[in-house]
Amino acid sequence: MFQYDKLPDDFDLKRLILVGSQNSGKSVLIRNIVLYIQKLYHPEDVNAFMTNDIRILELEQYKELWNYPIQVIIIDDAVKLGIDSRRSMSSANVDFTQRYFQIRHTLAEMGRTNGIIILILATQSFSAIDKRIRDNVQCTIFKTYYRQKFFQEQLNYDEDIINFMKEATYQSLICSNPKAREVGVGVVQTGDIFQFRNHMVSENEVNIPFLLYESGKEVLIQELIAKLMNKFSTIFEIPDKIVKGYLLYETDNLRDIYPQITLTNSDLSYIIRWGVYLQYENIFENGIDNNNIREFLSLKERVFFYLDNEKNVSLEMLYDNFPEANPAQLRNFKSEYLRVLEGEDEY
For the chain, the structural domain boundaries read 11-211, 217-341
User: Which pLDDT value is given to residue 312?
Assistant: 73
Between these two residues, 65 and 343, which has the higher pLDDT value?
A: 65
Distance CA 252, CA 256 (A): 9
C-alpha angle 171-174-175 in degrees, rounded to nearest 5: 55
Residue-wise pLDDT for 305-334, tens only, equals 778 767 678 888 888 888 878 888 888 888
Between these two residues, 63 and 81, which has the higher pLDDT value?
A: 63
- Cβ contacts of 81 within 8 Å, gap of 6 or more: 87, 92, 96
Range in 41-45, 141-145, 185-189 the model is least confident about:
41-45
C-alpha angle 198-78-99 in degrees, rounded to nearest 5: 115
What mean pLDDT comes out for the span 90-108? 65
- Is the pLDDT score of 116 beyond 90? yes
Residue 26: band (very low, low, confident or very high) from pLDDT cuts 50, 70, 90:
very high
Residue 81: band (very low, low, confident or very high) from pLDDT cuts 50, 70, 90:
very low
State the chain's mean pLDDT as an integer: 83
Long-range contact pairs involving 297-305 (C-beta distance under 8 Å, separation at least 24)? 297/236, 298/236, 299/324, 299/325, 299/329, 299/333, 300/333, 300/336, 301/236, 301/273, 301/276, 303/330, 303/333, 303/334, 303/337, 304/273, 304/333, 304/337, 305/273, 305/277
- Is the pLDDT score of 296 beyond 70? no
Q: Is the pTM of this model over 0.75?
A: no
Residue 289: band (very low, low, confident or very high) from pLDDT cuts 50, 70, 90:
very low
User: Which pLDDT value is given to residue 49?
Assistant: 95
CATH architecture assignment, domain 11-211: 3-Layer(aba) Sandwich (3.40)
- Check: CB of residue 93 under 8 Å from CB of residue 83: yes
- Is the pLDDT score of 114 beyond 80? yes
- Is the pLDDT score of 97 beyond 70? no
What mean pLDDT comes out for the span 93-109? 70
Going by their DSSP bridges, the two strands 70-75 and 115-123 should be labelled as parallel
Between these two residues, 3 and 310, which has the higher pLDDT value?
A: 3
Range in 99-108, 223-232, 243-252 the model is least confident about:
99-108
- Is the pLDDT score of 78 beyond 70? no
Residue 95: band (very low, low, confident or very high) from pLDDT cuts 50, 70, 90:
low
Residue 286: band (very low, low, confident or very high) from pLDDT cuts 50, 70, 90:
low
User: Which pLDDT value is given to residue 313?
Assistant: 81
User: Which pLDDT value is given to residue 144?
Assistant: 96
User: Which pLDDT value is given to residue 36?
Assistant: 94
Residue 255: band (very low, low, confident or very high) from pLDDT cuts 50, 70, 90:
confident
User: Which pLDDT value is given to residue 93?
Assistant: 44
Range in 196-200, 232-236, 245-249 the model is least confident about:
232-236
User: Which pLDDT value is given to residue 321?
Assistant: 82
- Is the pLDDT score of 90 beyond 80? no
